[in-house]
Amino acid sequence: MDFTSAFPSFIITLREGVEAALVVGIVLAYLKKAKQSHLNSWVYGGIAGGLVVSALVGVLFGWVIQSLGSSNQKYAPVFEPLLEGVFSVAAIVMLSWMLVWMTQQARLLKCQVEGAINATLTGGTAAGWGIFGLIFFAVLREGFETVLFVAANFQQGLAPALGALAGLMCAVAIGVLLFRLGVKINLRAFFLVMGVFLLLIVAGLVVSALGHLDTAVSTLAQLDRQSERFCFYYERFAKFPSCILGPMVWNTSKVLPERQFPGIVLHTLFGYEDKLYVVQAVGYILFLLTIGSIYLKSVTGWMPFAKRTSVESTANK
């Protein structure tokens, strides 16, 4: 088994697991401060519920993939890359939103969680269910994003799931170190490093998603002559075109193949392709320029290609 593909899901689960652990830790600490520790069981119930539902979502996705693949044998070769492409796009949207939103809300996380708990505790008998819901949806949100990423890479076998499990275990360990043993960890530096890794992983997922969609369309065109028109670039604008991705930018399959070390590491972590096409290259660059710029601005306040202030513009005239 190739465990290289486990690393991206490990990074994602570790980062999101630590986020969920922070929420859980804040809730437990607040309940202890408010002398409401008898509600701790609702916290643990919310954790268990969120994990179980996340696992069920993963099983459901697996069942949908198998069902679609076996429902029509003629078009079965189309469904697999098409589903990988669709799940990849969904994972890109969710992970990008999580990366930017969580970074922007990090400074207010403690106040927001404590405010939600305080409102819940004043609800009387429904306080337990309120605590349960707060933890349940925090864990489910992180779990769902991980499930989407694993589903987008289901062709790689069991390794991404094992990586996700290892990341979850490490996140739990970090939570214990923070809130049980009082170990000091620079969370800002942790989330900054994990955020950069995640940004590059998702950018690579953009390249992979476009590749899966191209494979699906080209396979469909081969099975059904009426679908050949979808291959816009086929034998039109380049000597080695793809179906929908345009001309080839490079072909490094003989120098640095993506299925052999070290190419497989670059492919798994950063979406390196030994055969890269124009649309993939443009998509990769646009993603880093847009989401990457928003993320950097959220973290450091610096915005690449930002407009100069009027003072700077006046000084340069």
pLDDT tens digit string along 215-264? Answer: 888 887 777 666 666 676 655 444 556 778 888 888 888 888 877 777 77
Domain ranges of the chain: 3-300
Between 44 and 102, name the one with better pLDDT.
44
Q: Which of 24-38, 71-85, 112-126 has the highest mean pLDDT?
A: 24-38
Between 273 and 311, name the one with better pLDDT.
273
Q: Which 8-state DSSP code applies to residue 253?
A: T
Q: Kindly tell me the sign of the dihedral angle through the C-alpha atoms of 80, 84, 87, 89.
A: negative
pLDDT given for residue 182 in this prediction: 64
Task: Please give the mean pLDDT across all residues of the chain.
Answer: 77
Distances (CA, A) of 146 to 7, 54, 55, 58, 164: 13, 9, 10, 9, 7
Q: Is 58 exposed, middle or buried (0-12, 13-18, 19+ CB in 10 A)?
A: buried
pLDDT band at 312 (very low <50, low <70, confident <90, very high): very low
Q: Is 62 exposed, middle or buried (0-12, 13-18, 19+ CB in 10 A)?
A: middle
| DSSP run (H or E) holding 250 | strand 248-251
266-282 residue pLDDT tens: 877 777 888 888 889 99
pTM: 0.74
